[in-house]
């Protein structure tokens, strides 16, 4: 008689920072994977690590904080894998994780179009003030004063970071007949051959009407937009950040807005967003004075880290995250491991 294979225990995954959209998309995609999923609304940080006990993998997002002490505790709790359901990994001490024998996987690209298109949306809204026009017209105020914009046609757009998102964004603004100046620590030869003009940062600052950030956050890019950078820019410049909050020194940009040097600011990310974004704080007194100050400017438009948030991206996030977890836990490696990043 054939011996029956013992049934494999399901892979247990704890999903942190879970909101309704995470639960909906992950549960749907899990029909193909059959993981044992537990959803936790809270962020992963020192206080919430005990929740990870007994799970094979934890799944985390942009505002979970996995520095060395958290990694140590994950190891003690038996976690084998950290699965980031995002591209950026500045919030994880990857070196420490590997020292402890914990793998780290991510979703390197889920929809660069989503982020590039949202960036363009911020630019158009800041310029043509759709958000103000919408409320005005609903209030029966049909006056145009205060809504004056400018033609994007022939303006110069400076793009810092010409990776997946930066390249799509460049194509979008080229469609508006903008001139593009690009800066990247590792310029892309192919793009250069195709006519993209790479310049130094100072030249980009001095000549751009709009500056858009598409580089990762690391020790070199932390506060890349600081007092000095802003002082090198054109008067009335538009700065847009859909990459990571800490690329911009908030105090410097507030000073730039107060002096009028910065004419427009579009943010989808903010330095201290962990304490704010993704939560409904409408009944709460916000304690972050810098954030509140930013909101008082008429020429600042902030969205709460939603640039990625399209149907296509959310589905890709769930699919790739689960494939990464399955591949890593079954084979001990994954093509989306950060060791390969």
Q: State the greatest distance between any 2 C-alpha atoms of the chain, in Å, as a whole number.
A: 86
Q: Does 164 bind ligand NAD (CB under 6 A)?
A: yes
Instruction: Tell me if residue 220 is catalytic.
Output: no
Specify the residue, 19 or 185, whose C-beta has the smaller distance to ligand NAD: 185
Query: Of 189-197, 212-220, 231-239, 279-287, which segment contacts ligand NAD by CB under 6 A?
Result: 212-220
Interface residue with ligand NAD, options 129, 214, 238, 321 (CB under 6 A): 214
CB of 17 to ligand NAD, least distance (A): 14
**Interstrand relation of 210-213 and 237-241 (parallel, antiparallel or unpaired):** parallel
Interaction mask 66-105, ligand NAD, x per CB under 6 A: ---------------------xx-----------------
123-160: burial string, b at 16+ Cβ within 10 Å, e else = bebbbebeeebeebeeeeeeeeeeeeeeebeebbbbbb
Question: Which of 106, 244, 271, 337 is an active site residue?
Answer: 244
Nearer CB in complex with ligand NAD: 166/256: 166
H/E run at residue 142: none
244 sits near ligand NAD (criterion: CB under 6 A) = yes
Residue 214 annotated in active site: no
- 216 near ligand NAD (CB under 6 A): yes
Residue of closest CB approach to ligand NAD: 163
DSSP string, 262-306: EEEEEES--TTGGGTTTS--TTS----HHHHHHHH-TTEEE--S-
Burial of residue 312, with CB atoms counted within 10 A of its CB: 0-12 exposed, 13-18 middle, 19 or more buried: exposed
> Can you state the percent helix, strand and coil of the chain, rounding each to 5?
40, 15, 45
Considering only residues 12 to 71 of the shown chain, the ones binding ligand NAD according to CB under 6 A are none
305 classed as catalytic: yes
Piece in contact with ligand NAD (CB under 6 A), picked from 48-56, 72-80, 217-225, 325-333: 217-225
Contact by Cβ (8 Å): 239, 265: yes
The CA R_g of the chain, rounded to the nearest whole Å, is: 22
Q: Interface with ligand NAD includes 302 (CB under 6 A)?
A: no
- Which residues pair with residue 266 across a beta bridge? 240, 301
- Mind telling me the catalytic residues? 244, 273, 305
Q: Which positions touch ligand NAD (CB under 6 A)?
A: 87-88, 109, 112, 115, 160-166, 183-186, 214-217, 220-221, 242-244, 268-269, 305, 307-308
């Amino acid at each position: 008689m054939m011996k029956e294979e013992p049934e494999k225990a399901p892979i247990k995954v704890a999903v942190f920072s879970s909101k309704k959209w995470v639960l909906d998309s992950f549960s749907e995609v899990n029909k193909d994977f059959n993981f044992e999923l537990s959803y936790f609304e809270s962020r992963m940080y020192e206080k919430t690590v005990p929740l990870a006990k007994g799970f094979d993998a934890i799944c985390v997002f942009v505002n979970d904080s996995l520095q060395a002490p958290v990694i140590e505790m994950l190891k003690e709790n038996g976690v084998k894998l950290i699965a980031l359901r995002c591209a950026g990994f500045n919030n994880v001490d990857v070196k420490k994780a590997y020292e402890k024998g914990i793998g780290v996987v991510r979703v390197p690209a889920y929809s660069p179009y989503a982020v590039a298109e949202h960036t363009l949306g911020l630019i158009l809204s800041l310029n043509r003030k759709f958000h103000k026009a919408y409320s005005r017209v609903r209030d029966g105020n049909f006056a145009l004063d205060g809504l004056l914009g400018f033609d994007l046609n022939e303006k110069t757009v400076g793009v810092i970071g010409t990776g997946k998102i930066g390249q799509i964004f460049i194509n979008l603004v080229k469609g508006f007949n903008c001139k593009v100046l690009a800066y990247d620590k590792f310029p892309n030869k192919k793009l250069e051959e195709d006519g993209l003009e790479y310049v130094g940062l100072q030249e980009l600052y001095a000549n751009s009407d709009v500056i858009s950030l598409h580089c990762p956050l690391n020790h070199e890019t932390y506060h890349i937009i600081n007092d000095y950078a802003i002082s090198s820019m054109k008067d009335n410049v538009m700065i847009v950040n859909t990459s990571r909050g800490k690329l911009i020194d908030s105090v410097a940009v507030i000073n730039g807005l107060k002096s009028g040097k910065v004419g427009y600011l579009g943010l989808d990310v903010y330095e201290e967003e962990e304490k704010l974004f993704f939560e409904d704080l409408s009944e709460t007194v916000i304690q972050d004075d810098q954030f509140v100050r930013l909101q008082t400017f008429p020429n600042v438009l902030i969205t709460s880290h939603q640039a990625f948030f399209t149907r296509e991206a959310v589905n890709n996030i769930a699919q790739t995250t689960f494939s990464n977890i399955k591949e890593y836990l079954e084979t001990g490696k994954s093509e989306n491991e950060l060791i390969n990043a």
